[in-house]
Amino acid sequence: MNDDYPGKRSARIDFLRGVAIACVLLLHFTLAFGLFNSPLGDLLGRDAIKAIAFNGNYGVTIFFVISGYLITGGILRRWGSLRNIDARSFYVMRAARILPSLLLALTIIVVLGVLDVPFFNNGDARPPLPASYFGIAILSILTFWHNLLMQSAGYFNYCLNVYWSLSVEEMFYLCLPPLCLLLRKTWLLALVCLAAVVIGPVYRGAHADNELYFMYGYLACFDAIAIGCLTALLAPRLCLSPQARRVLRVACALALPVIYLRGIAGHELFGFTAIALAAAGIVLGAHGEGRPGWTTGKLGAPLRWAGRHSYELYLFHVIVLAVMRNLVTREELSYALRLPWLALFVAVSALVAMLVSRHLSEPANRALRAWYGRRAGVTAALRTGG
């Protein structure tokens, strides 16, 4: 959700990431306030709302694919090959992108949680956990095992629950450089990725009765990231014409909603794999761009914007939702106000994401990278006697 692009920014990948974050926002709003008893529910019907909203975790799978593609592609662009990766620089760049806005989000949640504000405290646990539990919760997020903590503690904190996927991505960031340096050969890393693709559905199938495992476990998610990595390795080697790329994009773009609407429940074995492969096909077809389309024009601008700010939206939308849930309950929200409430949620989340990105994430990212660049330059000069 927070990756650098290999080369210039891709409008089509921004659009796809915008679709993914929209799925996540819609899922979390529906879980909080419901859309069945609304004009949209009457128009589309209960089954359609359920299919559109409650399969939103497929949006996270799309994020994982994009992350694997962009991170692997970024390594190839910066260092020429995977085995030449500068692990220290890689980790610094990841920390510079992830930490500033994450620390702000965690500070807000912990402060309000310690003050025992509903939906910020640990009241979702049964029995509720004390404020001191924030210590281990924050530690788990910052050391990449929050998903494992949830497997033992359950859904214990409304705001922190959603950060399980960040732990999955962080573990990928942690493991990738050592793998690149250890294996050295691209084909060996590709074999590891293929193994992850095989293991993923097997693991999910073995844990289909417990969503904290089949949806949030490392092995449940690494196959989507691995598919993204393989896409980045394949893209420069696959000589497709612009027309062939367009056909691939369109075919996978048509397949994506079909797989999405088919749903997660009952398709735990290969559903996530299928959505990941469809997303990878779109990404592969977008490699090198090609002719402009509606996703790159004005019509797709809102989703492209959401894609560019998806990390901040991911971090802060749940804080916005928690505040809104303290203002009005699902039962108190009237039929006529549900869609305006959804629009307000999206608007406030977008505003917060824009402000955090403009005044914290981007400046801090640039400053930390510049600081490291200066420090690395001084160190290199000392080593060479310069």
Per-residue pLDDT of the chain (386 residues; tens, 9 = 90+): 655 544 468 899 999 999 999 999 999 999 999 999 899 989 989 899 999 999 999 999 999 999 999 999 999 999 999 999 999 999 999 999 999 999 999 999 999 999 999 999 999 998 899 999 999 999 999 999 999 999 999 999 999 999 999 999 999 999 999 999 999 999 999 999 999 999 999 999 999 999 999 999 999 999 999 999 999 999 999 888 889 999 999 999 999 999 999 998 778 789 999 999 999 999 999 987 656 677 778 889 999 999 999 999 999 999 999 999 999 999 999 999 999 999 999 999 999 999 999 999 999 999 999 999 888 775 554 444 44
Q: What is the pLDDT of residue 282?
A: 96
Determine the Cα–Cα distance for residues 325 and 332; give it in Å rounded to an integer.
10
Query: pLDDT value at position 291?
Result: 64
Q: Which two tokens stand for residue 88?
A: 């220290």
End-to-end distance of the chain based on CA atoms, in angstroms?
A: 39
CB contact set of 109 (below 8 Å; sequence gap of 6+): 120, 157, 159, 160, 319
Distance between CA atoms of 138 and 17, rounded to whole angstroms?
A: 26
> Considering the entire predicted model, what is its pTM?
0.95
Q: What is the pLDDT of residue 292?
A: 67
Q: Which residues contact 113 (CB under 8 A, 6 or more apart)?
A: 120, 121, 122, 131, 134, 157, 159
Q: Cα dist. 109→118, 124, 140, 308 in Å? A: 11, 14, 15, 24
Instruction: Please tell me the distance from the alpha carbon of residue 228 to that of residue 221, in angstroms, as a whole number.
Output: 12
CB of 230 closer than 8 Å to CB of 194: yes
Q: Which tokens belong to 130?
A: 């004390």
152 burial class (0-12, 13-18, 19+ CB within 10 angstroms)?
exposed
Query: How many Å apart are CA 189 and CA 195, to the nearest integer?
Result: 10
Q: Which pLDDT does position 254 carry in this prediction?
A: 97
The domain spans of the chain are 11-384
CA proximity to 231, closest of 290, 282, 168: 282
The reported pLDDT for the residue numbered 203 is 96
φ/ψ of 287, rounded to 5, equals: -65, 125
- DSSP letters, 140-161, are HHHTT-HHHHHHHH-S--TTGG
**pLDDT at residue 384 in the model:** 45
- Nearest alpha-carbon partner for 286 in 255, 247, 325, 321: 247
Dist CA 300 CA 293 (whole Å): 9
pLDDT at 382: 40
Rounded Cα–Cα distance for residues 269 and 282 (Å) = 22
Q: Is 222 exposed, middle or buried (0-12, 13-18, 19+ CB in 10 A)?
A: buried
> What does the buried/exposed string (b/e) look like for 186-198 if buried means 16 or more CB atoms within 10 Å of the residue's CB?
eeebbeebeebbe
Report the C-alpha gap between 99 and 217 in whole angstroms: 22
| Burial classification of residue 161, based on how many CB atoms lie within 10 Å of its CB (0-12 exposed, 13-18 middle, 19 or more buried) | middle
Q: How far apart are alpha carbons 6 and 232 in whole angstroms?
A: 9
